[in-house]
Each structure stands twice: as C-alpha cells, then as structure tokens.
Amino acid sequence: MCRTLLRLPFTILLSLFGFSAAQADELLSYKWQGVDRTAILHVPKGLEGQPAPVVIVMYGSGDKAANFQKNSGADVVADSENFITLYPEAIDGAWNIRAKRPVINGEPVDDVGFFRTMLDDLVNRNIADEKRIYATGFSFGALMSYTLACSLPDRIAAIAPVASAMNESQVENCKPGHPKPVMMINGTSDDVQLYDGYIRSFGRLTSVPETTEYWRRINSCTGVGVTPLPHLNPHDLTRASLFQWSGCAPGKAVQLYRIENGGHCWPRLASANNETEDEPRFGGCSNDIEATEEAWKFFKQFRVD
C-alpha cells in the first residue's frame, strides 16, 4: 500500500478552537491508508526551533481533537511547563483498540502506523525530543495510550491513562510485555469504563486492580504505599488517594490516583468556577487534582531507554 506523508504548510489560529489568537497551532496532515489523518500541534512560545518534550493527548470515543484540546486544559500546563501538546484525530471518533474497528477502505484502521509516522516526522523536523514523548488519554483515548506503550516502546517514554483500565486483548497483544512507567487515574464509581471491569460482546475490560498488577509485574515492582490527598472543594463528594508502587526496575514506576466516588471524567482542580454544590450521587468529578499537571509531574522523570 502506498502511504505518502504530507504536511500542511500553514497554521490554524487558536481562535478557531476557542483560544486566544496570540499564538497559532499547526494542523498536521498525513496521507495514511488512502485518507488524510490529522492532528493539532501546540508549541508554547519560546520552544520554536528546538526539540522539546511532547505529550500526546487523546480524547474519548465520539469527541473531537479541538474540543478536547479546549476542555482538557492541557495547553495551559504545557505553556507553563514548556512541553508540546499533540492532539491526534481518530477515524469516526474511535481509536482502533478492538483490532477490527474502525475501518478504512475495508481494512482495520492502522492507528499505530499513523502515530509512528507522525512522531517520526516531528523528530525529523527537530520539533520533538525523541527521548521524551509521552501519551495520555481519556476513556477510549486511555485505552489507546496502553496500545502505544505496547506497540511503540521505542517512541513512548511513559503513559498516563485516565478513566480506563486495559482490555484483555491488549494484555494478550502486549505479551511478553514492555516495561514502561505508567500513571493511572480511575474513579471507583465510573459507570462507563467500570473500575471492576466488564464483559461485553467485543471483549473484556480488565479491572483497575488487574491492570495495575499487570504493570507492577512487568515493571518488577515489589511494594506499594498509599497517600490520601488534600480535599480542596468541600462540595466535591469524591476523595482522592495516590497509590505508589516501590522497588520497581530502574527508570520504571507505577502509580494510581484512585478517586473514591469518582465517575467517568477528566479531573480538574477546584476553582471559583466549579465550587457549586454537587448532586448527592456517585460518579462525581474530582476537584483535588489537575489531570494534566499530575501526568506531567510523572512524565518528566522518564526518558526512552
């Protein structure tokens, strides 16, 4: 199959995506499997012309890259901490984590090939630091981050999936496994990607404890400790604790932010804008951590071996 790489020679103003027009983002485009695959590249001011860390940020099923760029708050952290954010677009709003869907021209979508082509381009253009490329994602985007850790171990230095454990087929496809730093954020009352997993027609989602045990074993960790986090919003019905595994292989780590009563969401810090009374129900969104901030604190410790 002929797969030709293209890059659009223009930038997309941030105002198109609901941001200030003070800076411009680049719309990347690559011809892959006969269609144009795109991604939004955000380079903070001052990082132009030099290789920098890149955090891939992937949305959940049915969303769009521009929408998640705005709602995740990741660019604010990137601008403060001097790393690049990359927001890929999925085919039909879905990542290929089920092996046979979605489909392009009768073939399963090759998301892994698209990501490798895109990352190779950014490294060759002296934009991405090849040793410091990381992946995070929400829900099915979280599942895709597990796939990248297993499929591109030479490119991805660490991952931080939010609101999903691994599915069973990913565990099988990842054997014998690639040691990789992993930080997870999961709510115990998530009614979409259940904390205790599920079995459905397309396969089994493992539980969060099963997934952490998988990475504990792959990373050769031997112990675990837990730290309750400060509760910042009195109206927030969730509580967050950080589980940190110890004795891991050099350069490896496993962490879990367990959100009691936490639902299917991307946690954001408490602010004047979200301190309204939460409904008396399970499935709240934690205001005790900022997902991207915690991911970056974790990421910046690690490089590709």
Domain residue ranges in the chain: 11-299
Work out the number of other CB atoms within 10 angstroms of the CB of residue 72.
Answer: 25
Place of tokens 């489909």: 103
Question: What would the two tokens of residue 251 be?
Answer: 């350069």
Query: What is the crossing angle of helices 74-81 and 65-72, to 10°?
Result: 60
Q: What is the pTM of this model?
A: 0.90
Asked whether the beta carbons of 260 and 125 are under 8 A apart, the reply is: no
pLDDT tens per residue, range 227-267: 999 999 888 889 999 999 999 999 999 999 999 999 999 99
Q: Class assignment of domain 11-299?
A: alpha beta
pLDDT of amino acid 233: 87
pLDDT of amino acid 99: 54
Helices (H) and strands (E) in the chain, counts: 7, 15
